Amino acid sequence: MEIYQVKIPARFPLQAGCFPSNSKKTSTFLPRVAAFTTSSHSLTDKSESESQNRMFILGMGFVCQFFAQSLQKEGWVVTGTCTSKTKKKHLEEKGFHVHLLDANQPELSTLNALKCYTHLLVSIPPVGCAGDPMLQHEELLRSKLLDGNLQWLCYLSSTSVYGHCDGAWVDEDYPTSPTSELAKLRLDAEEGWLNLGQSLGFSTQVFRLGGIYGPGRRL
């Protein structure tokens, strides 16, 4: 498992025709982008658009919205998914480009869009019995990610994969020993995403989150 680093200056070529129509550029980080950042800037400026970092987030939930905001401030184009029209509207008002997605029946148009992005972050949790809902469609997903612009894939997991540790310090080297069914599915999901990303040649990471709380969220 690799340690996560956001290397923002890295730029990747993008295929033409991949750009969401309502993307905003607000970069203060990428000098060349910042130089022409205005609300009137159009993504038809192909040379800049094609080199911009672009994050696609499967599941714009609590954690990913904060992350997405930070990326936007650094000049990234950020697109995400959610499951309801109400939330989609809310996220669009915050300046994100949003697709509706039911991971059990993902829209082909959404999957087709993935290959236009340089980075993919997966935040959709597994569910009992079915496991990771996106990985149910692994072969379809693989076919959509081939030959695209994706370089980096990250899966948000949980410290539940360690099971009960009797108060011991736990880090990435600590052996996993999930006890609950959901934690076992989480470990399977980690493995599934790692295999998928690595087999496609992407830099692939898993982050195991502990309990996160914050505005509007309690443990």
Ligand X SMILES: NC(=O)c1ccc[n+]([C@@H]2O[C@H](COP(=O)([O-])OP(=O)(O)OC[C@H]3O[C@@H](n4cnc5c(N)ncnc54)[C@H](OP(=O)(O)O)[C@@H]3O)[C@@H](O)[C@H]2O)c1
Using the rule CB under 6 A, give the single segment among 1-9, 20-28, 100-108, 165-173 that binds ligand X: 100-108
From CA 30, how far away is CA 28, in angstroms rounded?
6
Distance CA(106)–CA(108), nearest Å, equals 6
Cβ-closest residue to ligand X?
61
Nearer to ligand X by C-beta: 42 or 104? 104
Q: Which is nearer to ligand X, 14 or 78 (CB)?
A: 78
Gap between the Cα atoms of 155 and 192, Å rounded = 10
Residue 156 engages ligand X in binding (rule: CB under 6 A): yes
**Is 181 one of the binding residues for ligand X (CB under 6 A)?**
no
Using CB atoms within 10 Å of the CB of residue 131, give its burial: 0 to 12 exposed, 13 to 18 middle, 19+ buried. middle
Site for ligand X in 157-176 (CB under 6 A): 158
CB 41 to ligand X: min, Å: 29
Shortest reach from residue 79's CB to ligand X, in Å: 13
Q: Which stretch binds ligand X (CB under 6 A): 122-130, 144-152, 161-169, 194-202?
A: 122-130
> Please, which residues have CB within 8 angstroms of residue 120's CB and are 6 or more apart in sequence?
55, 56, 57, 58, 114, 145, 150, 152, 153, 154, 202
Amino acid present at 80: G
Q: Which residues form the interface with ligand X (CB under 6 A)?
A: 59-64, 82-84, 87, 101-104, 123-125, 133, 156, 158, 209, 211-212
